[in-house]
Structure formats: C-alpha cells, structure tokens
Amino acid sequence: MKKTFLLVLLIFTSIINSQTDKLKITGKVTDSQGKGIPGVTVTFESSNTSTDLDGTYSISVKNSKSILRFTSIGYAPQIVVVGKNKTIDITLMESKTELDDVVVIGYGTQKKSNVTGSISKYTNDKLDDAPVSRIDQALQGKIAGVQIQNISSEAGADTKITIRGISSINAGADPLVVVDGQPIPDGLASINMADVASVEVLKDAASAAIYGSRGASGVILITTKSGKADKAKFSFKVTTGVKMDYKRYNLLSTSEYTQLLFKEQAIRNTDPAVQAEGVSNPNALNMYYQGSGTKINNLIAAYIIEQTMLGGKGYNYQDEVLRTANYRNIQLSATGGTKSMKYFVSGGYQTDEGIMLKSNFDKLNFRTKLDLDLSKRVKLSVNLNPSFQSKDSPSENLTNFWRYPSWLPAYHNNLTAAFVNQIPQWGAIQAGDFAQPRHFLGLNYFPTYPDGSQLLMPDGNPYWLIGGAQTNTIIGGNPFNSSQNNPMSSLLMHDINAKSYGLQSGATLTVNLLPGLDFKTMNTFYLKYDTKNNWSDKNADADGMLSKGVYSYNSYIDLLSENTLNYKKEFDNHSLDIVAGYTVQKTKTETSQTTGLGYPSNDINTLNNALYIDKSGTYGYKNQIGLMSYLGRVNYAFKNKYLVSASYRADGSSYFGPGRKWGSFPAASVGWAAKKESFLSKVDWLSKLTFRTSYGVSGNNRILNYGFQNLLYSANYTFGPGNGSQTSGQAQTSTITSNSDITWESTYQTNFGLDFSILKNRVNLTVDVYRSLTDKLLLQQAQMAFSGVPLAWNNIGSLYNKGFEIELSSTNVKTNSFKWTTSANLSHTENKIRELGNEAYLLNYGERNEIYKSVVGGPLIQYFGYKTNGIWTSQAEINASGLTSNLPSALRPGGLKLVDVNGDGVLDTNDRTIIGNPYPDFTWGLTNTFTYKALDFSFTWQGVQGGKLINGDANYSETRSRNVSYNSNRWLSPQNPGDGKTPYEDIGFNWMLTDYVVEDASYFSLRDISFGYKLPEKFAKQIGLSSLRLYTTAQNVYFHFASGYRGINPEGRATSGPYSSALIGGYQRGSFPMVKAFAFGVDINF
Amino acid sequence: MKNLVKYLIVFIVLITFGCSDVIDLKSESNISVENFYANYTDLQVGLTSCYKGMQAPLSEEWSMTELRSDNTVENSGTSTSTVKHDLTYLDQFYPPTTHQGVYNYWLKTYNNIRNTNIVLNASGANYNESNGAIEYTPVTIPVTLAQCKGIAAEASFIRAYHYFNLVRLFGGVFLIHEPITPEQAKQINRTSVTAIYKLIEADLKNAITNGISSSYSGNSSDLGHSNKWAAEALLAKVYLTLNRKAEASVLLQDVINNSGYSLQSTYGNVFSVNNEMNSEILFAIRFKGGGLGMGNPLPNNFAPVNSGNAIINGDGDGYNSPALEIIKTSSSYTNYIDPSAARFATNISSFTKGNAATTYFVNKYMSPTIIAYDAESDWPVLRYADVLLMKAEADGNVTSSLGYINQVRVRAGLAALTSINVSTTANFEKALASERRWEFAFENQRWFDIMRFTTTMTSVSPATDQFPNLKIQGAEYVMKKHLNNMWTKLYSGFTVLPIQLNQLLSNANPDRFLLPIPQYEIDTNSFITIQQNPSY
C-alpha cells in the first residue's frame, strides 16, 4: 500500500514538474556510421539515464539553457546546450585515445593522464592472429622493459619473463600475474589470448607495491574482455598454420667424418714434425695414422656399415625427428547484454604441435563473464574460466638426436637385418625393427659387403692398405659399444602426457554505500588439477628394462578473498580516489606419485596390471601456503595537473617463521602535467608534457616452503636377521639448510618518468629512468660442503638495478585511406652487487662445472674461468713459454692456450678470471603498422643486443668432432695449425671452463609479420556478416645471429634441476631450434 | 547510511576473524628437526637414518678406492660419456679439483657425519677436543643415561667409519663433531691428520665401551647395528694404519676370543643374499631389494654393458672392471691371479656376446633383482676373515699368524702354508698381502691396504729392476707397475682421453695418492684460504 502510494506520488510530481518548468528531451545517439549506440550515459546535473539498444533516450531537463552531457566508453564525450529543440540527435565520435585513457592498476583503474608510476599498457585486438600457443610469446618485443625469452621452443613450454632486470638472486624472480584482479599461480600458461582485452605491466615499485610481498619482480595485469550492452554479437576466428625449425646443426655423417680424418691425415703426413714423433708417441693423431687403434677400427666398422648397407648416406636423426608441425586455433565468442546484464562468453580450442616428434600441446578454454546490476547500488560480476590442457612431451632431448652417429639407422633395412642375423641372439630381427648399437657388436667387418661391392677407403686405397696395416677384416668390431637404445626408438617407446584441468573463477560484489563510496568484495577460487603419465615400454631405453608407468597427480587449490572500500570524489579542482582493503589467501597443494613396473603388455598400462610398485618412485606430499594483507592507497589530483599517489600494504606470509611473518610496503609518487599550466597551454605543437616520479618498496617472499625450519624426510633402513626388516628412519636430506631468521626481501625503487606528445598526439614519447636497490636478498647461498649440505637460506646482501625504457609511438601518415603508425621500444638495464653480507664473493657451479661468480661491485653473475689466446701450435711453443701446470691437459699442442693471468708462470686455479656475463645491453622492439583501405599490414622486429652465453654444445665430443662449426680450420699439426684458434677435437684443456665457449648472445629477428584484408562492409552485409577479415601471419622469418655464435638458438637456455637458480644463468645446453611459423586465418563477426 | 554501517560491520568482522592461522602453518608432510627429539624412540629413528646415510657414499667409494688400486680399471677408452671420463681421471691419477665424483663422495660422507652429529648432540654426547674423549652431559628429554650411551655408541661408530675413510683419502680434512651453522663453517679450516685420528679413536672407544656387547647370534634383531666387536675390529684397523700394531693385536684377540663371530664354511656363502648377516659379518652396510627404495645400485653399476638381463635385470654400466692382471686368462700375470678357483669364481665372472671380446666383471654382489639398481646384496665392511688377517698383520711372522692366514686359505679351498713358505719376513708379508688382495677383492680394501703396506710391510713391494732408475717402493712401486702393465694392454688404445706412458707413470706419485680437496670447498670460502693437497 505504502509503495503504491509512493509510486502514485512520484508519477504525480513528475507530471507536475514536466508541466511547470521541465522539458522532456528525446533523441538518438549514433556512431559515425549512423548506427545507434546503446548504453550511452546522458547526464543532466545529478540525474542521468542511458540509451536503449537502438540508441534512443529520453531525459527531463530544466530549461533550454540546460546542458546535456553524453558519455560512453570508447567515444569522445559530448556536451550539448538544449536550446529550442526537444529532439536532440547526437553523433558520438569513436575515440581510441579515450579507451586508452584508462589503465588498470592494482585494485582499481586510473586515468592514464593521471598515472604517476611506470605502467605500460598493451592492447591489440589482433594479438591472437599469431601462430603461438601462449600470450607471452605474442608479447615478445612489444613492451619496453619487459624481456621475454623463449628459452625452450617445445610446444607450450614456459618462457622466461624479466621485468626491469633481475631484482632477486635466489627467490623466484618471475613477475606476478593477475587476471581480472585474481593473482594466478601458474602465470600466463592458461590464459587464452583471444580473451585478452588489455595487458598492463606495473614496472616500478610504487605501482607494484600495492601487491606487497609479490610485487618486486613486477606485475602483469591481464584484463579479459567484457560484454557490452548491445545485441548479441558473435565472433568466429580460425587460424591455421605450419611451423618448422629455423636452423639445424650442420653435421658430418659418419662417412664424411671418416673422409675428413683421412684428408686431415694426408695433410698431417706432410709435416716432418709428425713423422719425427713416430709411432711410439701414441696420441690420438697417431691412432689414425697407425690404423690400429680402437677408434679407427670402430670408426671403419661404422664406415663400412654406412657405405655398404646404407648406400653411403647415413641416417640423419636430426632431420628425422624434426618435422613441419601444424598449428590450429579456433575461437568462438558471443557478447552482448542489456543495461543491467552484460555477458561475454567464449570458447577456444587450440592445437599446437611441436616441431619435434611427440611434442604436442592442446588447449581448451571456456570463459563466461557476466556483469549484472542487481540494483542501482549493487553490482555483481561473475567470471568463470574452466580450461583443459594436454601436453605430450618427448622423452628425449633433441641433443641426443644430433649427437647420434649416422651409420646406425633408427630401423633395420634388409641389409642390416641380414647382417646382424649372424648373431644367434639377433637372429629374429627383420627389416623395419628398431636398430640398436648392441646388434652390431662383435661382428666381422669385411671390405666386401654383403651386396658384393668392394669397399675403398676414403683416400681411394683398398681398405686393407690403411696406414700400412695389412689387415682386411676387423674381427669383432664394436662400432658403438652402448647399451642405450637409439634415441628415435627411445622416443617412440615412451609416452609422456600431462593433463591439466583448471578453473579460474570469481565473483565480485560491488555495493555503492554512499555517493562515491563503494564496498567491493571479490572472492575467487582457483583450482588446478594436473595428472601426468610417464610410460615406458619394455626395453624402452635399453635391453632388460621392465615396462614402467609413473603416475603423478598434483592438485592446487587457491582461495582468495579481497575486500576493499573505494571512495571516488571529484569536486571543484580536486579529484580523489581512495582504496582501503583487506585480503586473505590460502593455498593448498597435494602431490602424489606412484610408480608401477612390469606390465603384461605394452598396451595395458594401468596400475592394476603392474607386477611391482617401486617405493622409491612412490610418494605423497601436502602443503599449505597462506598470505594475509592490509592495503590502502590514495590518489589525488589537483586540476588534473598536480598528481599525488601514496599506498601502503602490510603482508603476513606463512613462508616465514614466528616473528618474521609480517612486512610492510609503502610507496608514493607525484606527477606534474605541465602542459596544463597556462604558460604551456598555448604552445600548439605540444600536446602533452607530464613529469612523474615515484618511490616505493615491494617485496619477495618466494622461497621453498618452510625455509625457516629444517624438515625431516624418510630415511628407512633394514635391521635384523636374514634380509632384515624395514625400520623407520628420519633424516634431513634436504639440499638446503633452513634459517629461522629469514624474512622478506625488499626492493626500493625510484622512478623518473616523462610523457611527451607533440603534433596533436601524432608523436608520443614515454621515457622512464629507474634505480632500485634490493635489500636482504633471499639467497640460496653456497655453504661449505663439509657442513653436509651445499646450500643455506640467507637474507644477506643487496643488489642495485638501474636502467631506462623508452617507448615511442607515432602516426607517420594519416589520410582517409592510408595510415602508417610506428611504435618502438628500447630498454636498458644493468645490475650491480652492492654487498653480500660479509662475503666478498660467491661462486656457484653449473652443470659442467662452469663457474658463475657473484662479486661485490660487479654484475649479479659473471662467468668465471680461464681466458684463452688461441691454441698451442707446437711443443716448441709450449716449451718456449716456460709455463708449467697441474691442470689436466693444459699444455698440449693442438689444445687451448690458457692465459697465465697472474703472470706467475704456472697455469692453475689462480688464473681463473671473469670471462663474460649474461646481461644484454639493450633489448628493443619495433612495430610498423600500415592500413590502406581494407588492407592492413604490420611487422615487428625484436632484438637483444649484448650479453654472452655459455654454449654447452661444445661439451659433447660429437659436436667437437662432427659439427662443422667446431671442426673447420682446426689444428692438425705444428706446421698445419689451421686458423690458430680452433683446437683439435679431443686435445688439450676442457673447453667448458674457458672463454672459448663464451659466445655473443645478441640477436634480432623479424618476430612477426601480418597481412590482413577486411571485406568491405557492404559485401559483408550481403552475406549476412557484420565483418569478415582474412589474414596471414608469419613468425621468425628472419633471425640474425651474432658473429661467433655457433649454436642454433641464441634464446635457448637451460635452467633445470639443481641448476635452476638466478646465480647460474646464461648456460645453453642443446635446446630446441628456433621455430619459424606461417599461418592463415579468418575472422568473422556477425 | 544504515547500509554503510551494515557493510562496515561485515567488513570489520571479516578482518577481525580473518583467521591468523592462515599464515601460521605447519608442514603436514614432514616433521621439523627442532621439534623432533622428544623421547628414546625418536633417538632410535634418528640413529636409523645414520645407517641409511652410510649407503650413499658407497656409490662413489669404489671409484675412490678399488678403481685407483691395481684391482680394477676403467676400460672404455672410446666412450664419450662424461661419467666414464671422470672414472678414467681417477683410474689414471689425474682428477681435476672440480671432479664431480670426488665432490659427491665428499658431500655424501659429510652429510652423514652431520646426521651423526645431530644424533650425538641429541643424546648429550660431546667430543672433548682437548682430552680426546666423548663426554656425556644430561639431556632434557626423558631418556636414561644408558639409553643415551647406547645410541651414541652406534653414532660414534658411524662417524669414525666416515672420518677414517676421509683421512685416508684426503689427509687432514675438516673436523666437524657437532652441529654447526653456515657462518661457523666458514671459520673452520682443515685440521691435521693427527687430530682426525684423535676423534676416530675417541669415537671408537666410545663405541666399544657403550656398544652392544653380546656375542654373535644369527637371529638377533640387533643384526645390522654396530656393536662392540665391530668397533674393536675397526679400531684395530685404525691402529694398524697408524703402525700401532700391539694395540691392534689386543683388540683383535678380544674379538677372536669373545665375539662369537666365525668363518663361514665356503667363501661364496659369505656373500649370498640368502645368508645375510652371517657369522662372518661384523659389520655390513645393508640393503634390501624389492622396490622398497632400499636396494643396492652397485650390482647394476658393475655388470657388463649390453648384458641385458643376462647378468642382472636392467643391464649394467660396466664400471669397476677387474684389471687384466687379476683375470685368469691373461697368463703373463699369473702371480696376481687368485689360486683359489672357488674364490675367483665368486669374485670375477665373464660375459661374451657374439664375437666381441669377453668382458670380465665384478661378480661378487650379483643377485637376482626385480628392478634395476635395486639389489638385495649387503656391502661388507668388516668380516671375520679380515679380523684374522689383521691379527696376523699385527703380530707379524709368528706361528699363530700362519694359523690365521691358513684358516682363511683353507676355507678358500687352498692348501695350508707351512713355515717354509713364510721363512722370511718378505715371504710372510708377500703371502699375507696376496691373501688380503684375493680375499677382499672388490670390497674397497685394496687401496687402503696398498697405502698401509707402504709403512707397515716394507718388504712387500721393494724397488726392483722394473723401475731401477726411480728407486721407488711401496705404493708408488705397486701402482707404477700396475699402470705400466695396463698401458700396454689398455690405456695405449684410449682415443678419447689419450695418455702417454711417461705422463701416466708420473701421475702415480705419492702426492696424487691423496685426492684433491673439492674445488667447491676452496672456492666457497671467501674468508680463509684453504690449502689444496700438493700437486693439484
């Protein structure tokens, strides 16, 4: 009754009003093409309304002098004085800059012109044109200060992302990834590129400090697409393409290598010094000369096989395992809504084959995003993103393929099968079966083989005349005495499949409490459930192996509640934005693994069929991580000219021990929009000039769980009679010692920024200069091995980072039909260790005993080893040098000539010195975009200048002997020293410890090119579509290596196992080749 | 306004009751050390892990000892595998200071020393460096002093075992006898050989005084634990090494008279997996096969490459191959070959595939396995036969000594020696040394024996005509002779790491008989300079 009364009263009064002093205005708001725009806000003083689906509106105003304001995101706002007309139709101009004007920041958004920190925003609705499976790969070279490195080219593999250099030594240095306000633990892996509306990167500490303990390495904010109040729109996009390797190793086959050795021997024989050494000097060279050494015989056995049974052309493992792979990405989305209910629904399916056999990555994503206005004051936003990924990984590293000798085919042919059938054990082998090294052991190798052909040696002599040795048979030759299967057969006999089921979901309720004051509570649930099956057939790696299935499960459940109060107020010349909040996050993980062995058949591989369960491969762990925080921030602007922002966050983390859990992270920044001053407002060519400066503290808590206490692990033993009975034992077997005092690592960063635009925003320049100090480094410090544990957690030392970033964008040409824009970015960063507690330096050992030195005053790590100066050409030269050494093989003709750095006449460990570091001088990206009528064309160059890597390929004797990059122009004898720089393959000091393997890691690449054609609208309409675009893209069409780099992928790095520490970096070990890709796609909207 | 209050209340409630237990978490899967030792059972659980910790260094121990001796060699001269290269460096006495195997052995050994220090500390047992004794202080947990002493005795034995190996392989190492912090560790330098032996003696005396003293029983649940007798035998070996033969003799006499241990009837029986912890085993590092994560990896390491399942399930790595000298077929080295066919067959076997050359391998520990690197076989550390031969070594050429040697010989199926065979000290020492070599072949004894004989049995390896110019004797003579033999037969054919004879022989010098202190240790300490062993 009461309600009815009020309603009647309301209607009555409004009628009265309209009759007296109010005007009712109606009209239609359209876009430049005359189409109605729904959802435009029409404001008169404090009342407002919004347009309907067709763009019509009606509003009451006071009188003809009233002012109406039309605003809508994506369009330039317009102000109209009512005047005489009661119907006011408005055309709103689309405004790209207006859309860009808002940036997402931590716990809110901000007008771009008011930003005082250092935030990069990247938007590109064609991001998902690129034939890559991950968004980070598509972002390479696009954002200043963000270095993205494809350390592995395996399908779906993680990249390494570094924002503003390395700010942490041992704690995790990956940036925090936040999707729609929700921190995501597994980074960018599960993001569907097609769902992304914008990417913001918080680079300076002041911007990231609001994320407190997790902000030190920068924050990447992903905002996904939302619905708009409009008719349902559908989008369908298919991209399909092929990928292949950019470059392979140039390797010699067994025949070519044998021929090389003979050719070299012929040259060597002309050197009197070699003949003088005679046969009594059994070094490797004389082995070839004598023809009686094991190596030559085995090699000749291999040569005979290749020449007589494989037609002289070996099996190329590298070529066989690499393939032209397929890529397909299908995206479908629907978006639309009403004033009070907007939706965005998408589904994507992506299948991405790796360029190596058995490498596949499939991804299935759904996203539902609903924005509901439950009432005038209450808004609800629901985000639901289930995803599924399936990844097949090859069991063998590509290294094992290019290392493998060519004489051994992956499969037997008729000739090889008949040959090995001579051994009763291999009597049943047929053509098409896997060929293994063991099949060829202990057979007699004749020069006439089996097809009757007479074999001549590479020097043209009959076989039995090599080196004068009068033999015509190799009795019981062992061309390759290895028990391991050939890598192709191992690869095919293993199945490694990981499936990941994910659910990112969240609900945000926003309640408008008072004008300008909102209470927002976001509650999210993140689930990730991974299963991995690692199956090996019987005899998969070698003879005598049981079939084996390893089943692991991993669950990750993360609950987050964020509760904030936001207050926004604009009055007179002031604008104020305040956030205060409380968040709590809890993560539970569970891991288990079961290993079953001995299955009745390779086709049945579930655990119920296993004969044995292996305890050493069977375990289960649980873990919990908790974080609770209080945060607050004030953004204040006076006349949008003087800008101030201050924030504070306090974090409590379960990673640290009692009394050490809490840390606080304050930040402040100021800005001055100078262009808005009266003395600049009349300078026409200048469109924007803003100075920014900020200072803030962000932290890092990412260490192993429970790093503050030593934990015990199972260490059981057997006691008692007979075979004994198992007895429980518990020991500290962790490889790192705890430290009860460890706490936050803090990064203090100062940033100076300048935003500069001229010629009506045609040219925009942003420059940021920063300097940061990371203090109390969470350090996995090497400790004395006699402590029993090689590492210990510590909180010592500090590290400086400084650098700058430049972002430039310009509209070079803009006519009605042609537009050319350029965007470029350049960044430079350098770091320096300020102190390491009371240590002068730290040394860390890598996989090949190469050493990484961290020394106070120097960059974070530097390679530490021996300098070389070419090679020793002769014994006489060694004698003349007067040097002595206890280092193994340091003084050998044909070996590397180490430099006696300290000049004491002895080559020893004291001669080790700094031989390079991994840090680039500059990273840069350059994108040009052209549009001409319906055509669009763009290309991106991306590069890294400077920095060195340690090329681990040289560790393999196969590389040194058969890789053309390593054996050309090498030393052969004192009179034939080659180029004087290239040592002989197996002579002299260990290459891996010297600067001989330290190579320039610079590169630049034509990262992507894309070309598109958009069907003119009238044709599209005729076939019932709102738009249709065809496009083709290519990746890495050109890749430039630095001179001196001998590998195939300067981006490749290995950081696995115990060597995955920031103190061990720049080491490259036989990574995948770079991937070149071509794709074609169609994008349909209706 | 009402709404505001309402929501603020919700907000405040959330904050206040926002469970501080969110960040106060304990590990659900592992106990922390700080809270662990609360009662006697916990001490036992800790002690058990010290036994477990003895397994790890065995993975490298053979390459530090047997491989470097004249018993076994690394014979893959064409292999490009880094692991095999590292073995060649050890075999031919030129390991780099960054040698991975040396570092692993060092780290694993010190890791278990750390475990024993934690248990000793928890039992209130402290080493007094000045008077060289283990002293007990009361502990706060509810255990009796006797219980503490029982635990500490065994931990002491294990610690002494590790230091005894370290001091013989590396010389004066770092003396760590209590839990230390990483900061303290950087202030500790190497100590003298004497100081290490002082701790070893103190530990073994503690183990003798407080250890299990009951005599051997084949069905005791204590089997596998160290006891008084094992400690006496180990201390006797320490004394022999220090050339304190009289003290060794007394301890060995006690074991012979009172321990209840005895020889098995046949040599093969000693190592059978069906006869583990038999009356001859004073102490063994135990393994248990069958997929329990407690198996012995060494049989697979020692089985020949490419043998599939013929020797042991899951193929072999071909490590630790018997040197040509001690293989029966090479007639030129008859003096080195074990005259006991039964013993030879247990120790060495061969494998032939196709026309390929026959491979000889260490057969001693082969036992049926289900899973690769998971064998049942225990690793013998102290055997009764060792006690008998040590007793003979301690007492010298007296009648009773001949009796001890003959007990071992007769069990191996050989004729007893008569006093005529050992008419001179040289003959006696030669007979004893040979017996030890054959009896303990591949038990990681030979290297230490060679080193010890250099001081205790000077006649056994005199300077002879083989290297007249060098005037060397003892270990250097033995090793040079071995390397010389092996160069002709094997090393000269190495093509991947080729070596010249003169280089090889000069490698085998007494300085190089000690291993290098891992470079890691020297590099890690930026405070004090740690002295490397000479010649590295």
What does the pLDDT read at residue B11? Answer: 56
What does the pLDDT read at residue A167? Answer: 65
Judged against a pLDDT cut of 70, whether residue A85 lies above it is answered with yes
> Is A20 or B53 the better-scoring residue by pLDDT?
B53
Of the partner residues A423, A709, A986, the one whose CB lies closest to the CB of residue B32: A709
Average pLDDT (A132-142) is: 80
Which one, of B74, B140, B70, lies nearest residue B445 by Cα? B70
Q: Which of residues 235-294 of B touch A (CB under 8 A)?
A: 273, 276-277, 286-288, 290-294
- The reported pTM is 0.85
| CA dihedral sign of residues A164, A170, A171, A176 | positive
Q: How do A102-105 and A41-44 pair as beta strands?
A: unpaired
Instruction: Please name the residue of chain A whose CA is at the shortest distance from the CA of residue B3.
Output: A513
What does the pLDDT read at residue A35? Answer: 77
Residue A376 CB neighbour total at 10 angstroms: 8
Crossing angle between the packed helical segments B145-170 and B100-122, to the nearest 10 degrees: 160
**How close B32 gets to chain A, by Cα (Å)?**
4
Give the DSSP letter string of A953-968: GGGSHHHHHHBHHHHT
Average pLDDT (A665-673) is: 90
Instruction: Please name the residue of chain A whose CA is at the shortest distance from the CA of residue B224.
Output: A719
What does the pLDDT read at residue A134? Answer: 79
Average pLDDT (A430-450) is: 79
Q: Any chain A CB within 8 A of the CB of B121?
A: no
What does the pLDDT read at residue A2? Answer: 46
Residue pair B49/B294 in contact by the 8 Å Cβ criterion: no
Give the DSSP letter string of A460-479: SSBGGGGGG---S-EEEE-S
What does the pLDDT read at residue A280? Answer: 34
Q: Which of B32, B524, B535 to mutate against chain A (most A CBs within 10 Å)?
A: B524
pLDDT digits (tens, 9 = 90+) for B98-136: 899 999 999 999 999 999 999 999 999 999 999 999 999
Distances (CA, A) of B139 to B50, B123, B125, B202, B499: 20, 7, 9, 21, 58
pLDDT of chain B, 536 residues: tens digit per residue: 555 566 656 655 555 555 557 777 777 788 887 778 899 999 999 999 999 999 999 999 999 999 999 999 998 777 777 788 899 999 999 998 989 999 999 999 999 999 999 999 999 999 999 999 999 999 999 999 999 999 999 999 999 999 999 999 999 999 999 999 999 999 999 999 999 999 999 999 999 999 999 999 999 999 999 999 999 999 999 999 999 999 999 999 999 999 999 999 999 999 999 999 999 999 999 999 988 889 999 999 999 988 888 888 888 888 999 988 888 765 666 667 888 889 999 999 998 876 666 889 999 999 888 888 999 999 999 999 999 999 999 999 999 999 999 999 999 999 999 988 888 888 898 889 889 999 999 999 999 999 998 877 766 555 454 554 555 667 888 888 889 888 888 887 776 777 888 888 889 888 999 999 999 999 888 889 999 999 88
**How close A580 gets to chain B, by Cα (Å)?**
11
- Cα Dmax for chain B: 116
What does the pLDDT read at residue A16? Answer: 43
pLDDT digits (tens, 9 = 90+) for A988-1015: 888 989 999 999 999 999 988 989 998 8
**How close A319 gets to chain B, by Cα (Å)?**
23
What does the pLDDT read at residue A999? Answer: 94
What does the pLDDT read at residue A155? Answer: 73
Residue pair A217/A176 in contact by the 8 Å Cβ criterion: yes
Phi, psi of A672 (to 5 degrees): -135, 110
Average pLDDT (A1051-1067) is: 74
CA–CA separation, B372 vs A617, rounded Å?
13
Of the partner residues B18, B185, B223, the one whose CB lies closest to the CB of residue A720: B223
What does the pLDDT read at residue A44? Answer: 80
Judged against a pLDDT cut of 50, whether residue A10 lies above it is answered with no
Contacts of B79 in chain A (CB under 8 A): 481
Judged against a pLDDT cut of 90, whether residue A267 lies above it is answered with no
> Is A297 or A555 the better-scoring residue by pLDDT?
A555
The gap from C-alpha B86 to its chain's centroid, in whole angstroms, comes to 19
Quote ipTM for the complex.
0.92
Judged against a pLDDT cut of 70, whether residue A202 lies above it is answered with yes
Q: How confident is the model at residue A465 (pLDDT cuts 50, 70, 90)?
A: very low
Buried b (16+ CB within 10 A) or exposed e, B231-263: bbbbbbbbbbbbeebebbbebbbbbbeebebeb
Of the partner residues A283, A482, A785, the one whose CB lies closest to the CB of residue B498: A283
Q: How confident is the model at residue A347 (pLDDT cuts 50, 70, 90)?
A: very high
pLDDT digits (tens, 9 = 90+) for A254-265: 889 888 887 887
pLDDT digits (tens, 9 = 90+) for A29-73: 888 777 788 778 888 876 778 788 788 888 888 877 888 888 876
pLDDT digits (tens, 9 = 90+) for A219-251: 888 888 888 877 888 989 899 999 999 999 999
Average pLDDT (A773-789) is: 87
Q: Any chain A CB within 8 A of the CB of B188?
A: yes
Residue pair A756/A1039 in contact by the 8 Å Cβ criterion: no
Judged against a pLDDT cut of 60, whether residue A474 lies above it is answered with no
Contacts of A8 (CB under 8 A, 6+ apart): none
What does the pLDDT read at residue A405? Answer: 92
Lowest mean pLDDT among A601-605, A860-864, B220-224, B297-301: A601-605
Of the partner residues A475, A513, A841, the one whose CB lies closest to the CB of residue B7: A513
Mean pLDDT (chain A, rounded)? 84
Of the partner residues B79, B106, B287, the one whose CB lies closest to the CB of residue A785: B106
pLDDT digits (tens, 9 = 90+) for A91-104: 887 665 444 578 88
Partner residues linked to B223 by β-bridges: B225
Residue pair A544/A609 in contact by the 8 Å Cβ criterion: no
Determine whether the interchain pair A717/B224 forms a contact, defined as Cβ–Cβ distance below 8 Å. yes
Locate all alpha helices (DSSP H) within A358-424, ordered by sequence.
399-402, 414-420
Phi, psi of A389 (to 5 degrees): -130, 145
Average pLDDT (A462-482) is: 55
pLDDT digits (tens, 9 = 90+) for B400-446: 999 999 999 999 999 999 988 888 888 898 889 889 999 999 999 99
Rg (Cα) of chain A, in Å, rounded?
34
Judged against a pLDDT cut of 80, whether residue A701 lies above it is answered with no
Q: How do A906-907 and A896-898 pair as beta strands?
A: unpaired
Determine whether the interchain pair A845/B98 forms a contact, defined as Cβ–Cβ distance below 8 Å. yes
What does the pLDDT read at residue A276? Answer: 54
> Quick one: what percent of chain A has pLDDT higher than 70?
90
pLDDT digits (tens, 9 = 90+) for A481-537: 788 899 999 999 999 999 999 999 999 999 888 888 889 999 999 999 999 999 999
**How close A519 gets to chain B, by Cα (Å)?**
8
CA–CA separation, A1027 vs A1024, rounded Å?
9
Which one, of A966, A977, A723, lies nearest residue A875 by Cα? A977
CA–CA separation, A636 vs A576, rounded Å?
5
- Tell me which DSSP letter residue B157 carries: H
Which one, of B445, B432, B446, lies nearest residue B394 by Cα? B432
CA–CA separation, B448 vs B61, rounded Å?
12
Judged against a pLDDT cut of 80, whether residue A1060 lies above it is answered with no
pLDDT digits (tens, 9 = 90+) for A643-668: 899 999 998 888 888 888 888 899 99
CA–CA separation, A539 vs A551, rounded Å?
19
CA–CA separation, A636 vs A1085, rounded Å?
42
CA–CA separation, A50 vs A41, rounded Å?
4
Which one, of A1031, A1060, A1061, A1017, lies nearest residue A937 by Cα? A1031
Which one, of B378, B384, B292, B429, lies nearest residue B51 by Cα? B378
